[in-house]
């Protein structure tokens, strides 16, 4: 079965990050050593990985493969290119002068392969900029997530942008009907505020992520980031609405909130992608757990 296969993968190819996603008619399992981006307090970490060799059967052969990889012009050129891309990406949100390569082209060994890895680190400037803006205007943006009635909520709308104002109105309507919703509006998504989101989501029954676009991974982009941060701790539903600039009102948010709770109470089913338009829900790829 799927779980047995995952356990076999975990034992045969242990990695820092492993996953098992069970859909109705297929399953995805995998393992990876990669850290795309990590935000800890005010530190940003990217870990470019490029350059791979098989493990040697002996210590001497292992060292030979390492030497070959570190002296391969193609592998080294690709790795340096990824370092430069990582520095450019993190430099857009980091404090000027803090981006540095702290550990360059080291070798990490795993059960079957070895990789060439570097660390790119920087100081996140977002909070500092938010504090300075608050001193000038009296309205601080130091917090990465704007919360509305999150403290006692059982369910959360998670989204970005002005339409979360309508979600706040819907929260009042839903609470009148006994459904304790809250709104978590993200002010920033790059780097993604994982720690803040985990703190806000702690103890919640269900997260309803609202997207207005679709991503390359077939779900909404915010859903992809949120579900990646939350994992299997809490059910996360992804709703895509307002495509093409279609207006989404507080009545729509109220309908979505009721629908999500109904689906949740029917069983623990993860819904990565649900299309909503004018009161009609079309959901795809439900994941049973």
What does the alpha-carbon distance between residue 225 and residue 287 come to, in Å, rounded to a whole number?
A: 17
Residue at which a domain ends, from 142, 160, 182: 142
pLDDT at 219: 84
Residue-wise pLDDT tens digits, 85-95: 888 888 877 77
The pair of three-digit structure tokens given for residue 177, joined into one six-digit string: 């009907």
Asked if residue 151 and residue 123 are part of one domain, the reply reads no
Residue at which a domain ends, from 91, 115, 142: 142
Residue-wise pLDDT tens digits, 23-55: 888 888 888 777 778 777 677 888 888 888 988
Give burial (CB, 10 Å; 0-12/13-18/19+) of 258: middle
Domain extent, residue 117, equals 36-142
| Cα–Cα separations (whole angstroms), residue 184 to 209, 213, 222, 232 | 10, 18, 12, 19
pLDDT at 244: 85
Q: What are phi and psi of 254, to 5 degrees?
A: -65, -45
Residue-wise pLDDT tens digits, 94-145: 777 778 887 888 888 877 888 888 888 776 666 777 778 788 888 777 678 9
Measure the CA angle with vertex 271, ends 266 and 276; round to 5°. Answer: 100
Asked if residue 153 and residue 237 are part of one domain, the reply reads yes
Total domains present in the chain: 3
pLDDT at 172: 98
Asked if residue 209 and residue 173 are part of one domain, the reply reads yes
CA 192 to chain CA mean position, Å = 7
pLDDT at 18: 85
Asked if residue 282 and residue 155 are part of one domain, the reply reads yes
Residue-wise pLDDT tens digits, 201-252: 999 999 999 999 988 767 889 998 898 888 777 899 999 999 888 999 999 9
| Cα–Cα separations (whole angstroms), residue 67 to 48, 74, 79, 108, 170 | 19, 14, 15, 13, 61
pLDDT at 123: 61
Asked if residue 219 and residue 120 are part of one domain, the reply reads no
Asked if residue 149 and residue 103 are part of one domain, the reply reads no
- Nearest Cα neighbor of 251 from 156, 169, 157 is 169
Asked if residue 89 and residue 16 are part of one domain, the reply reads no
CATH number at 189 reads 3.40.50.920
Asked if residue 185 and residue 218 are part of one domain, the reply reads yes
pLDDT, the chain, mean: 86
Asked if residue 206 and residue 237 are part of one domain, the reply reads yes
Asked if residue 121 and residue 40 are part of one domain, the reply reads yes
Asked if residue 279 and residue 220 are part of one domain, the reply reads yes
Residue-wise pLDDT tens digits, 260-289: 999 999 885 678 889 999 889 987 655 554
What does the alpha-carbon distance between residue 74 and residue 271 come to, in Å, rounded to a whole number?
A: 42
Residue at which a domain ends, from 122, 142, 162: 142
Asked if residue 206 and residue 122 are part of one domain, the reply reads no
């Amino acid at each position: 079965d799927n779980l047995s296969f995952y356990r076999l993968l975990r034992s045969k190819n242990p990695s820092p990050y492993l996953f098992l996603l069970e859909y109705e008619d297929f399953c995805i399992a995998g393992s990876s050593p990669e850290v795309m981006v990590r935000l800890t307090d005010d530190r940003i970490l990217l870990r470019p990985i490029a350059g791979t060799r098989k493990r040697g059967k002996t210590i001497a052969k292992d060292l030979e493969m390492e030497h070959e990889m570190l002296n391969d012009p193609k592998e080294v050129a690709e790795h340096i290119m990824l370092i430069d891309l990582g520095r450019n990406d993190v430099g857009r949100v980091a404090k000027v002068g803090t981006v540095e390569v702290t550990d360059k082209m080291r070798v990490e060994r795993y059960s079957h392969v070895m990789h060439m890895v570097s660390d790119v680190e920087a100081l996140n400037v977002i909070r500092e900029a938010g504090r300075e803006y608050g001193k000038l205007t009296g309205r601080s943006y130091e917090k990465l997530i704007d919360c509305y009635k999150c403290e006692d909520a059982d369910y959360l709308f998670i989204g970005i942008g002005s339409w979360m104002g309508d979600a706040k109105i819907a929260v009042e309507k839903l609470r009148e009907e006994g459904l304790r919703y809250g709104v978590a509006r993200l002010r920033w998504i790059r780097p993604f505020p994982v720690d803040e989101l985990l703190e806000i989501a702690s103890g919640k029954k269900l997260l309803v992520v609202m997207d207005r676009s679709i991503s390359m991974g077939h779900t909404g982009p915010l859903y992809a980031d949120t579900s990646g941060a939350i994992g299997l701790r809490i059910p996360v539903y992804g709703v895509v609405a307002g495509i093409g600039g279609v207006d989404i009102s507080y009545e729509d948010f109220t309908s979505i909130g009721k629908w999500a709770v109904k689906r949740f109470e029917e069983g623990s089913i993860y819904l990565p992608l649900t299309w909503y338009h004018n009161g009609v829900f079309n959901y795809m790829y439900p994941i049973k757990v």
